Structure 1
Amino acid sequence: MNTNLQDEHNASWKKKIVLFLISQNISLFGSSVVSFAIIWHITLETSSGIWVMFFTICALLPQVFISLWAGVWADRYNRKHLIMLADGFIALATLGLAIAYWTGYQRMELILLVSVIRSIGAGIQMPAVIALYPQIVPTEKLTKVQGINQSLNSVLMLLSPAVGGVVLGSVGITGAFMVDVITASLAIVVLSFIRVEKAARSTEPASVFTELRQGIAYTFNNRLLRGILICFGASFILITPAAVLTPLLVERSFGNDVWLLTANEVVWTIGTLIGGVFVYMKGNFQDKIRTVAICLMAFGVTFGLLGIAGNFTIYLIIMGVAGFFMPIVATAQTVLIQENVEEAMMGRVFSLVQIVTGSAMPFAILFFGPLADIVPIGSILVVSGALLVVVGALYQITSKRAGLN
């Protein structure tokens, strides 16, 4: 009897996570395809770096600003319903944009406005998505599930640029908008088949601002969470040169052929795909802090080597190796938080993580971007890589001194 109950329990959570992963990756794929199509449309129509900058800001910053409130909502309401509402919100906004373009009202300002709305929807959705995993997945299976998700994300990110280009070239930007509408609708339908209860609350309901303060206090009074946020902030700032400036490094060092820039992105994505498979095969990391520290130091070494690579083939090999560590550090850090945070506080904690990770790169590029026109990018990568090694080592040392593992 006990064996039968266990089998039913295993089948139940596995069915839920399969449907959840399908739902979220359908949604991610549609959003990625449309994002690529929009940025290429803006580039082709305006040939303006200013317009590309406006789109990037409109696509990224609103989700950072909404994140704090989104975390409160993810802890207050049913996370499944919140995810579905956010997807529906994004789909309706994109459908409105498609209708406007169909009727002849085709303005760049409208794309920027809808990008802001889509970004707000994504900001509401993200903390709820990450916080939902521990509700439907046994704790000991979180790492394996995250490995599968990272692999799926990598495959989709490999396909998204190509699909975005094909869609834009064959049915135009209006057809591209409809891709997101269709995939968001499918994601909502798939997610509707999952039964998820509202997260249990540890305190009485209060105002949004009171719960917001509770979430901030909970996070910064916890040594582990405080260290993770500091680590996230410092590492994302130092990862920015490799994430943003390497296409410029390739153009300056190896040539401006499109295939060189494409290879730069594809090899990184292949590396992340292999890393995701490794996480799945590994199943779990016993010492997640040590795992994160090693990966950050590996990032530092590989980014430094990118800065001094004189041969493009060697450069690509190093880029692929660097990509391998991304799913490992992302999974280990995410699962570490999921294992050590109360279910009722999960949304607010992950909203703070989203704020740190979402704002670090935009602010960092304000420094590294102009610097790249004064100092060789290779030198920037060497210095930022060396500092990443230091961050990894300090994260390990300080966490162990605090008795964390």
Structure 2
Amino acid sequence: MSGQRSDQKSWKRNLLVFLGGQTVSSLGSMIVAYAVMWHLTVETGSAAVLTLSVAAGMLPQAVVSVFGGVWADRHSRKLLIIGADSTIAAATLVLALLMLSGAGDLWMIFLAMAVRSALAGVQAPAVNAMLPQIVPAEHLMRVNGVQQTIQSGMMLFAPAVAAAVYASTGIVTVFFIDVVTAVIGVLLLLLVPVARTVRSTGSSEPVSYLGDLVAGVRYVRGNASVRWVMGLVAVVMFMAGAPAHLTPLMITRSFGDEVWMLSVNELFWSVGMVVGGAAMAVFGPKVKRRVRLMVAASVGVGLLVVGLGVSTDFWVFSVAGLVICILFQMLLVPAATVLQEQVEDSMRGRVFGFYGIVMSVAMPVSMIVFGPLADRFAVESVMILAGVLLLGCLAGMLALGGARRSLATVGENEDRAELLVSGG
């Protein structure tokens, strides 16, 4: 009994140190992201420049995530996270020193953002794949909920810090803050013991990186449960991505252009993410049918996106956005937990590499598709269209026998895992 208490205390300590380091490091990255966006806006006033900055900050991560997943299955995940954080800090420090010397060309900022984004593509799969090595399976849902709550809470806190620092001292100080937070994150992670991943190739011959990548593709393609879980997330993120970003436009066109309305809208969406993450941390572990929860949350998102389009009252519109974000967490937290639990350790990095692509690409592509429609038609019509298409896609997926069987398999695996945990 004392050994069990010791083990429980040990993993909780390791988790606290790990989450503390990742939170500090992520906060620095968020502060930089907001400050750079405002700096480019103030210095250039160009929409094209902002578009390029978004591309530099997102596309490299989507591309590198594939290879980051392979590396997370071949090498020490802990060292990958440390290496990524350290290199991000070094790149940011170089940019800060260059700007201090008077060199602040746009291409330098874009290059630094691209490097940071690419290394995030290495870091993210390693973090998601390493978490089950620290946390017992029965606590993964709660920990994922806590992690999502922290990330969402930082989205409320980071803009205020970025604004205060940038307004009072300038962009270079923001870069130095990010270097310090990255170093803190690395030092804390060094304190967390993590076992190396045991590879089982089934052959004495070494496997190439390309071979590992192909094996990962085959695994996702051959594992219907994983494929459909990722597909469900992709559909919801794509169909709901544009409405999430078009809400400010609808407010200015339909309710008024007062700044307080735009602020309330952003606040409600952010609070919804925090509340949703906290709800999953508290109640998520009690959910016995996670796939049913994910499907129900997805349907709810579709209905409420339609509701955004038909809303005629600003407060109803805002509350709908808040509930959508709660439902997002009811989809994303169980999805990540299912993948962590049901994908074997030797493949987990690659699966989360592909999952990272889904999360990185779905919303930008959604804006590319639906954004131009909002300039030609009423935003309300675009919202309704996106919601109806989401509901139609969900109905189509669930109408397929293969999808229903695959998602049911996830539930059966959950039952077996629960029996093993309870000793039944």
**Aligned counterparts of 2:365 and 2:281: Cα–Cα separation in 1:** 33
Letter in 2 for 1:256: D
Deviation at 1:224, TM superposition (A): 0.5
| Contact 1:219–1:349 (8 Å) recurs in 2 | yes
Q: 5 Å matches for 1:38-187?
A: 38-187=36-185
**Aligned counterparts of 1:299 and 1:355: Cα–Cα separation in 2:** 21
Q: 5 Å matches for 1:181-330?
A: 181-203=179-201, 205-284=206-285, 285-330=287-332
2:6 aligns with 8
Give the counterpart of 1:401 among 382, 398, 405: 405
**Aligned counterparts of 1:228 and 1:88: Cα–Cα separation in 2:** 33
Residues 229/337 of structure 1: CA separation in 2 closer, same or farther (3 Å cut)? same
Letter in 2 for 1:305: G
Give the counterpart of 1:389 among 388, 391, 402: 391
Gaps of 5+ in 1: none
2:355 aligns with 353
Residues 25/397 of structure 1: CA separation in 2 closer, same or farther (3 Å cut)? farther
| Contact 1:292–1:392 (8 Å) recurs in 2 | no
**Aligned counterparts of 2:130 and 2:117: Cα–Cα separation in 1:** 20
Deviation at 1:198, TM superposition (A): 1.1
Residues 290/247 of structure 1: CA separation in 2 closer, same or farther (3 Å cut)? same
Deviation at 1:311, TM superposition (A): 1.6
SS in 2 for 1:105: coil
**Aligned counterparts of 2:274 and 2:157: Cα–Cα separation in 1:** 12
SS in 1 for 2:13: helix
Deviation at 1:27, TM superposition (A): 1.2
Residues 232/373 of structure 1: CA separation in 2 closer, same or farther (3 Å cut)? same
Deviation at 1:393, TM superposition (A): 4.2
Of 258-267 and 27-36, deviating more is 258-267
| Contact 1:298–1:389 (8 Å) recurs in 2 | no
Letter in 2 for 1:39: M
Deviation at 1:396, TM superposition (A): 4.9
Equivalent pairs: percent with the same residue?
35
**Aligned counterparts of 1:150 and 1:225: Cα–Cα separation in 2:** 21
Deviation at 1:381, TM superposition (A): 1.0
Deviation at 1:394, TM superposition (A): 4.6
SS in 2 for 1:372: helix
**Aligned counterparts of 2:233 and 2:142: Cα–Cα separation in 1:** 22
| Contact 1:293–1:395 (8 Å) recurs in 2 | no
Letter in 2 for 1:400: R
Deviation at 1:53, TM superposition (A): 0.1
**Aligned counterparts of 1:258 and 1:51: Cα–Cα separation in 2:** 24
Supply the RMSD in Å over aligned alpha carbons: 1.4
Residues 82/75 of structure 1: CA separation in 2 closer, same or farther (3 Å cut)? same
TM-score, normalisation: structure 1: 0.96
SS in 2 for 1:373: helix
1:376 aligns with 378
Of 254-263 and 138-147, deviating more is 254-263
| Contact 1:307–1:378 (8 Å) recurs in 2 | yes
TM-score, normalisation: structure 2: 0.92
Residues 321/232 of structure 1: CA separation in 2 closer, same or farther (3 Å cut)? closer
Give the counterpart of 1:344 among 339, 342, 346: 346
| Contact 1:155–1:273 (8 Å) recurs in 2 | yes
SS in 1 for 2:170: helix
Gaps of 5+ in 2: 412-424
SS in 2 for 1:196: coil
**Aligned counterparts of 2:168 and 2:399: Cα–Cα separation in 1:** 54
**Aligned counterparts of 2:322 and 2:162: Cα–Cα separation in 1:** 23
2:416 aligns with none
**Aligned counterparts of 1:66 and 1:364: Cα–Cα separation in 2:** 21
1:365 aligns with 367
| Contact 1:275–1:323 (8 Å) recurs in 2 | yes
Letter in 2 for 1:247: P
Deviation at 1:68, TM superposition (A): 1.1
Letter in 2 for 1:228: V
Letter in 2 for 1:233: A
**Aligned counterparts of 1:14 and 1:145: Cα–Cα separation in 2:** 10
**Aligned counterparts of 2:323 and 2:234: Cα–Cα separation in 1:** 23
Residues 52-107 of structure 1, C-alpha deviations (whole Å, 9 max, x = no match): 00000000000111111101100011101100100001110000010001111111
**Aligned counterparts of 1:200 and 1:258: Cα–Cα separation in 2:** 54
Deviation at 1:395, TM superposition (A): 4.7
Letter in 1 for 2:226: L
| Contact 2:30–2:155 (8 Å) recurs in 1 | yes
2:418 aligns with none
**Aligned counterparts of 1:394 and 1:366: Cα–Cα separation in 2:** 24
SS in 1 for 2:377: coil
SS in 2 for 1:201: coil
**Aligned counterparts of 1:34 and 1:354: Cα–Cα separation in 2:** 21
Residues 86-141 of structure 1, C-alpha deviations (whole Å, 9 max, x = no match): 00011100000100011111112211110000001111100000001111111110
**Aligned counterparts of 1:268 and 1:233: Cα–Cα separation in 2:** 20
Letter in 1 for 2:217: I
| Contact 2:233–2:331 (8 Å) recurs in 1 | no
